[in-house]
A and B are shown apart, each in its own frame.
Chain A
Amino acid sequence: MTEIQTITAPKKILFVNTRAPYGSSMARDALDALLAASAYEQDLSVLFLGEAVFQLLRNQNPKAISMKNLAATLPVLPMYDIKQIYIQESALSSRGLSIDDLVLPAKVLGEDEIAALMDSQGAILSF
């Protein structure tokens, strides 16, 4: 019989968002997976790349297209102990956006820092 392994240090897991909200279900799926994963006391980070920076824009109101407001749920992440929230600097600037346009205080990263962040993970889930 194999012994049951004792649980060691929490695993570092990075959730990478790459899609704009509402055009597909990917943004919602990422958030659902992230909130579910938060129950397992792992070391979670979330990164918004490219089009995904649009998920964080203020003043979203998708009532008329019968979708749930993503920007209303994203600010709860710190309450689920998800405090490592990152955003791609070039994705923001190329879309004419600044950190003040966002619903969450995310840490802005350059491409080298994003590479380092990914290198440090035990697992990466891309949405």
Chain B
Amino acid sequence: MSLLHTVNKSAFNAETLLNCLAICQAKHSVLLIEDGVYGAMKSSPCRNQIEQLSAQGVSFFALAPDVKARGLGDMLIAEVTLASDQDFVNLVVLHSATQSWY
């Protein structure tokens, strides 16, 4: 089993996502929620790390209602998959534990 990380701060003004990515391992999942979804933008300061970790087997998700709320629909990097509220629940169940970065 593996970890689910949730991140709720913008990567543009906080190091929350950076701190999370620093300890991410293959088979972990990262779910970006609330202002955390800004970290999934093509212009994100964490874009390179997300792409590298994705290639190493880390899964990235962004909560769709938070993405839509902020008008980011067509601004996200390809490695990040949109997740519904139901997907959020499924992710929590599928992982051994959830680490909340906030």
Q: Which residues of A contact B (CB under 8 A)?
A: 20-23, 50-51, 54, 57-65, 67, 71, 94-97
Contacts and interface: CB of A to CB of B under 8 A. Distances in A.
A67 B13 contact: no
Given A50-B13, A95-B12, A21 B70 contact: yes
Contacts, number: 62
Contacts of A50: 12-13
A95 B70 CA distance: 14
For chain B, give the interface size range: 20 to 34
Given A23-B35, A50-B13, A65-B65, A96 B43 contact: yes
Nearest to B34: A23
30 contacts: A20-B10, A20-B38, A20-B70, A21-B70, A23-B34, A23-B35, A50-B13, A51-B12, A51-B13, A54-B10, A54-B38, A54-B70, A57-B72, A59-B71, A60-B70, A61-B71, A62-B68, A62-B70, A63-B69, A64-B64, A64-B65, A65-B65, A65-B66, A65-B69, A94-B12, A95-B38, A96-B41, A96-B42, A96-B43, A96-B75
A21 B70 CA distance: 7
Interface in B9-61: 9-10, 12-13, 34-35, 38, 41-43
Given A60-B69, A71-B71, 10 more contacts: A22-B70, A23-B35, A50-B13, A57-B70, A61-B68, A61-B69, A61-B71, A65-B69, A95-B38, A97-B43
Chain B interface main SS type: loop
Nearest to A93: B43
Nearest to B35: A23
Interface of B: 8-10, 12-13, 34-35, 38, 41-43, 64-66, 68-73, 75
A97 B41 CA distance: 11
Contacts of B13: 50-51
A20 to B, nearest CB: 5
Most B CB contacts (10 A, CB to CB) among A23, A64, A71, A94 go to: A23
B36 to A, nearest CB: 9
